[in-house]
Amino acid sequence: MIEIPLQFLGIKWKDGAPNFLVARGTELEYLDIPATINLTKTNVKKCVGYYDLAARCHMPCPSQIDFTGTDMSQCAHCQNSNGFGMCLSCNGDSCRADNPRGRAFCDQEHLVYLAYFPGRFKVGTAAAYRGLKRLYEQGALFSVFFASAPNGQIARRIEQAVNETGIAKNVSTSYKIANLAFDRGLDIIKLDLVQKLNELRPKISADLAKYFTDPKYNIFADIYQNLTDCLIEVRTKADLFGTSETVIKNYDRIIDATEIIGNVRAIIGGLIVIDNNGKLSVISMKNWEGFKIKFEK
């Protein structure tokens, strides 16, 4: 077994496949996620670096600022280099961007999507060039792009208008972990999205509805099938009228693990489903970001 000391920077999706983004000092590496993993999180924590909005890639912290023992994850230099901080809570009313990088990022085409999670719909925005990647990152296996705006500010206005109809802007990690298994088939979920979008259209004002486009539906069937295979015990017809019953296997829900050992059964967004000798766990990797890890392979 070779122990490789690395800094964990997150699960990153490239071309529909998940990778571990890690740093060895100021050098970044994308690692294929093996079928069996043995990870340990140390107590050493460094700045996570930043996403370069112009270069469209992650950049390591040049100073490797030490955050061991703190709740901090990003230094002032990296926050400023990203330039998106003031945009995170934007609802499109007025631009608060205090950084030319943030403004330049906003001044490009953005998409608005509706996503389905078990028991909940979510509205969100994404720069057009990051559309599908954004959905993979969020674990949004079923979604529809329904509007295209010339900039992020208008996209945020559409998002806010949809939110005011009762559709959430955010789905927490805790909710995703607790509601990971889909109790409906692919066709039914798509029909739910179609129906929700049709209900939504007449509720949006004409000045925003003009940005609506022909819907583009996205279904990540491979991930859905992996989740179904490992989390669904059985789907049966309960009676003569076709009422179905779904039995979901028991699994541990872990927000902040310090060790991950076992076989990787599925990856969705930033979550990993691990089978360790028949015991299933769903683990969030968010709290690992910035920490040095021991990665044995």
Q: What is the pLDDT of residue 89?
A: 80
Q: Does 147 fall in a domain?
A: yes
Answer yes or no: is 143 within a domain: yes
Spell out the residues 6+ positions from residue 229 whose beta carbon is closer than 8 angstroms to its own: 265, 266
> Quick one: pLDDT at residue 2?
44
Domain that holds residue 126: 86-219
Sign of the dihedral through C-alpha 268, 270, 273, 274: positive
Average pLDDT over residues 154-181: 96
pTM score of the predicted model: 0.91
Specify if 253 maps to a domain: no
Q: What is the pLDDT of residues 122-158, one digit of tens each?
A: 999 999 999 999 999 999 999 999 999 999 999 999 9
Q: Is residue 106 part of a domain?
A: yes
Residue 179 lies in a domain: yes
**Is residue 232 assigned to a domain?**
no
The two structure tokens encoding residue 294: 């021991």
DSSP state of 60: -
Number of domains into which the chain is organized: 1
| 44 located within any domain | no
3-state secondary structure of 204: coil
Q: Has residue 138 been placed in a domain?
A: yes
